[in-house]
Structures are given as C-alpha cells and as structure tokens.
Amino acid sequence: MKLILAIINHDDAHGVIQNLTQAGYHVTKLATTGGFLQVGNVTILIGVDDERLEGAMEIIGKRSNSRRQVIPATSEMGMGMYSSMPVEVTVGGATAFVMNVEDFKKF
C-alpha cells in the first residue's frame, strides 16, 4: 500500500478531489499554506493499494494546471523582509510525494 501526499493549487483542488472520489479513491483534504508565497493551497492524503497508484497519480496530473503567480513587492517574505521587486514564479501543477505504508488498520 502507498500513501500519496499531494499539494495542489487551491483553484484546482475541487476538481481533483471530485474526480478522485468519483473514481473510488478515499481522500482527506487539509488546508495548508505554501512557505514561499504564504498563499493557501490544499494538501490531499490518499491511501491506495499499489495497483491503483498510477490511476490516482494520473487524475492528479490531469486535473492540476501550472500557472504563473506574482507576489507584489509589498508582500512580506517572512521574518520582516520585503522583496524590492515583484516576484513571479511558476506554481505547479501539483507536487506529489508517494510513500510506502508499512501497516494499515481501521478501528
């Protein structure tokens, strides 16, 4: 069994979760915040049998779009620091980690 931990852009999260659920995957959604942009994103946890891993990754990849995002110079970058110029970055798609699950039980 595997655990997928995927960080998804807030705007794509609804579609990704809907498609995963329709395909029979069990999904847990967490409200998270990116450390760099300090903007809300969505992290999903999916426990899957090995043979269903590829199917879940395919749905996540298909439903997540990368986009350019600009943070204005007035935004704090953390620890009281401000960028002197607006910063533009390409934000995924989705960033997905796949972990081996040693044991899984439901009580």
Residues 30 and 42: beta-carbon distance below 8 Å: yes
Residues 27 and 13: beta-carbon distance below 8 Å: no
Q: Which is nearer to ligand 2BA, 39 or 73 (CB)?
A: 39
Phi, psi angles (nearest 5°) of residue 57: -65, -35
The span from the CA of 35 to the CA of 104, in Å, is: 30
- Please give the DSSP secondary-structure letter assigned to residue 84: S
The answer to the question of residue 81 lying near ligand 2BA (CB under 6 A) is no
For ligand 2BA, which residue of 10, 36, 40, 54 counts as binding (CB under 6 A)? 36
For ligand 2BA, which residue of 23, 70, 73, 89 counts as binding (CB under 6 A)? 89
For ligand 2BA, which residue of 3, 27, 37, 98 counts as binding (CB under 6 A)? 37
- Residues in contact with ligand 2BA by the rule CB under 6 A: 7, 34-37, 39, 41, 89-92, 95
